[in-house]
């Protein structure tokens, strides 16, 4: 008998990838972003399901994520975009993983690794169009292009793409969106002026994929929406959340009015009630900042967490209801509260809720797995 589990519906992943593909023009490919253990959903099962549903690219932040995909026989194109100096890039090149370069130094390191691997590296040149995170600045862009063109002529790399990332695509109408689109067009013009015509251009994350068709270019990089969550409330009603979080009530007891609940007694019982002890806490990814605010469904009713979230457990106010030990509690998913409810309760975003819930000691169970 299980105590707590994170359930991942792979049919939902497949449904979401197919739904997202339906938004794209025929020539535009879809990359499912599976960084951070597939946003807490599990790297390999999600990657497999996404590919089954037609994702022809997978996006990984780290080399390790990308190499794990290859080691398990995933053959679609993979882009890995975040490496500190000194990482074993030649392993990625040997494994046929595309790499991103944001600076001439990074490009030099990729070229050296390619010579070591005896195989050209497929490189995506990243321009910073206004997020100030990765990517070359406008000032450094021509030098990066020149270095890339030379490395390509030397046979060390193949320029696979020019790409960038939005800062505020989840706020439709935000003035930075148009500025970034114009900066991307400008970066492509500068590239063309230097003789660089990348086979692929990509810019859109989930929010842009859902709201800005003109940003789709040749490839979209969808993370959150692959998992059935919306970057903008109401933007994608056809998606199905893939993760649900379940636990079995460990203890129920009557607690009289006036008692304090959990550490610090930040919550006081106002009238006699039954408290259910649910065996999931912040070590499992339940945000402590949702103390006395998170919602949990037990016995078909949505109830509130009372008192501080502990490391391993939370207390849920069940009033006069007949809740029993062993009853199933649903933190989110499957008709209970949503990851968005927990994000609101914890003052964060749905991304963080699922990424944390899925990266801990709670066993993950897959449903909808194809034989």
Ligand X SMILES: *Cc1c(COP(=O)(O)O)cnc(C)c1O
Which one of 173-181, 188-196, 205-213, 265-273 is the stretch in contact with ligand X (CB under 6 A)?
Answer: 205-213
User: Does the annotation mark 263 as catalytic?
Assistant: yes
Contact 24, 206 (CB under 8 A): no
Residue 284 Cα to chain centre, angstroms: 18
Cα distances (Å, whole numbers) of residue 56 to 53, 90, 215: 9, 23, 19
Q: Which residue is nearest to ligand X (CB)?
A: 223
Options 35, 126, 282, 351, the catalytic residue: 35
* Cβ partners under 8 Å of residue 157, min gap 6: 107, 110, 111, 114, 120, 121, 122, 123, 148, 151
Among 70, 90, 124, 221, interactor with ligand X by CB under 6 A: 221
- Give the residue with the Cβ less far from ligand X, 224 or 323: 224
- Which one of residues 33, 60, 177, 310 is an interface residue with ligand X (CB under 6 A)? 33
* Catalytic one of 150, 253, 263, 268: 263
Site string for ligand X, 34-73 (x = CB under 6 A): -x--------------------------------------
Asked if 165 is part of the footprint of ligand X (rule: CB under 6 A), the reply reads yes
**Count of CB atoms situated within 10 Å of the CB of 5:** 16
Alpha carbons 148 and 33: distance in angstroms, whole number = 25
Q: Which of 224, 261, 278, 331 binds ligand X (CB under 6 A)?
A: 224
Name the residue nearer to ligand X (CB basis): 32 or 292.
32
Q: Which of residues 272-301 bind ligand X (CB under 6 A)?
A: none
Beta pairing class for 314-317 and 251-255: unpaired
Alpha carbons 75 and 69: distance in angstroms, whole number? 8
Q: How far is the CB of 88 from ligand X (least distance, A)?
A: 21
Of the residues 17, 69, 145, 222, which one makes contact with ligand X according to CB under 6 A: 222
- Residue 58 or 245: the one with the smaller Cβ distance to ligand X is 58
- Give CA–CA dist 145/159, Å, rounded: 10
* 133 belongs to an annotated ligand binding site: yes
Nearer to ligand X among residue 79 and residue 310 (C-beta): 79
Output the CA angle 100-104-109, nearest 5 degrees: 65
Is residue 315 part of an annotated ligand binding site?
no
DSSP type of residue 351: H
CB 94 within 8 Å of CB 70 = no
Nearest C-alpha neighbor of 124 from the set 139, 112, 136: 136
Interface with ligand X (CB under 6 A), residue total: 12
Q: Per-residue x/- mask for ligand X, residues 74 to 93, rule CB under 6 A? A: -------x------------
Closest CA to 271 of 293, 290, 287, 254: 254
When the beta carbons of 231 and 336 are compared against ligand X, the nearer one is: 231
Write out the residues near ligand X by the rule CB under 6 A: 33, 35, 81, 165, 205-207, 221-224, 231
- Which residues are marked as active site? 35, 263
* Bind-site residues for substrate: 133, 311
């Amino acid at each position: 008998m299980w105590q707590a589990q994170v359930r991942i519906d792979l049919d939902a992943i497949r449904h979401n990838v197919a739904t997202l593909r339906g938004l794209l023009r025929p020539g535009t490919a879809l990359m499912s972003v599976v960084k951070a253990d597939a946003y807490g959903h599990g790297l390999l099962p999600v990657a497999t399901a996404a590919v089954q549903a037609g994702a022809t690219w997978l996006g990984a932040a780290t080399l390790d994520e990308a190499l794990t995909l290859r080691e398990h026989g995933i053959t679609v194109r993979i882009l890995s975009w975040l490496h500190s100096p000194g990482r074993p890039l030649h392993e990625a090149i040997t494994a046929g993983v595309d790499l991103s370069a944001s600076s001439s130094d990074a490009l030099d390191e990729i070229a050296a690794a390619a010579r070591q691997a005896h195989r050209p590296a497929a490189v995506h040149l990243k321009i910073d169009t206004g997020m100030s995170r990765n990517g070359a600045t406008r000032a450094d862009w021509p030098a990066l292009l020149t270095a890339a063109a030379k490395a390509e002529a030397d046979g060390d790399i193949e320029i696979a793409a020019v790409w960038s990332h939005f800062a505020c695509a989840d706020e439709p109408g935000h003035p930075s969106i148009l500025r970034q689109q114009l900066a991307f067009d400008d970066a492509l013009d500068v590239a063309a002026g230097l003789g660089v015509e990348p086979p692929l251009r990509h810019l859109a994350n989930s929010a842009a994929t859902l709201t800005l068709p003109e940003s789709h270019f040749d490839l979209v990089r969808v993370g959150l929406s692959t998992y059935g969550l919306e970057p903008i409330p109401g933007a994608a009603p056809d998606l199905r959340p893939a993760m649900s979080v379940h636990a079995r009530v460990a203890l129920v007891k009557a607690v009289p009015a006036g008692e304090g609940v959990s550490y610090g007694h930040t919550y006081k019982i106002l009238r006699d009630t039954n408290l259910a002890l649910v065996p999931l806490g912040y070590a499992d990814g339940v945000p402590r900042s949702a103390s006395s605010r998170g919602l949990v469904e037990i016995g078909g009713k949505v109830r509130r967490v009372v008192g501080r979230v502990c490391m391993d457990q939370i207390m849920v106010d069940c009033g006069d209801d007949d809740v029993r030990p062993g009853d199933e509690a649903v933190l989110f998913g499957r008709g209970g509260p949503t990851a968005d409810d927990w994000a609101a309760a914890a003052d964060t975003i749905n991304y963080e809720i699922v990424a944390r819930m899925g990266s801990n000691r709670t066993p993950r169970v897959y449903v909808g797995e194809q034989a």
